[in-house]
Amino acid sequence: MYRKTLLAGIAAMAMVSGNASDPMGSSSSAYAEEAGKSDLPKALTFKMKTLDGEPADMSKYAGKVVMFVNVASKCGMTPQYDALQKLNESFKEKGLEIVGVPCNQFGGQEAGSSKEIKEFCSSKYHVTFDMMEKVNVVDKGKDKACDLFKYLSEVDAQPKGKGPVAWNFEKFILDRKGNLVGRFGSGVKPDSAEVMKVIEAALAAN
């Protein structure tokens, strides 16, 4: 009896000792993770999926200058892919991230599957910047905007200001702190002087 009691006591002490270095157990790492997320700017707290269907956490762009663009493959604005890719090649190493977000809500101009969109972007424009899975970017009937674009549309960013996305290839620019510092309409080219002014200022800032 004494031997059994002694062994039970030793086992109990071992369990206490094992938890002493991590009194909160596995919950402490989860708490730390959530605390880290709370430090992120709102625009980088959202989750999406890539064209390959892989999870994509927008927090990966923390510290970068980001341009989100709702894109389409059969639009009069589609040739803007060329300028977007050139921006990616010229400024990625300086901290610019271009993120294409396909949407089929305007004229049904992005009706293809993820595989078809990827093939089009790769073969036609040699796109190497990040492309997300197709989503809705505006509330329209039963369709609801994804969380990212719902948030971006509610920010009063100049020169366009706040409000629903009107058409394909609107451009939303975040600075390195995740602030939305520029919003440009579809007709404004990605490499126009006014867009470049915002991008270069954001890249230069700490």
Distance, CA of 95 to CA of 170 (rounded, Å)? 21
Residue 166: other Cβ atoms inside 10 A? 11
Residues 75, 103, 121, 146: which is the catalytic one?
Answer: 75
**Single-letter code of the amino acid located at 178:** G
Strand partners, 180: 174
Both tokens assigned to 74: 């059969």
Distance, CA of 72 to CA of 144 (rounded, Å)? 18
Angle made by CA atoms 173, 78, 164, in degrees to the nearest 5: 50
Q: Examine the residue annotation and report whether 103 is marked as an active-site residue of this protein.
A: no
Both tokens assigned to 4: 């059994």
Contact 124, 81 (CB under 8 A): yes
Contact 88, 128 (CB under 8 A): yes
Strand partners, 132: 50
Active site positions, annotated: 75
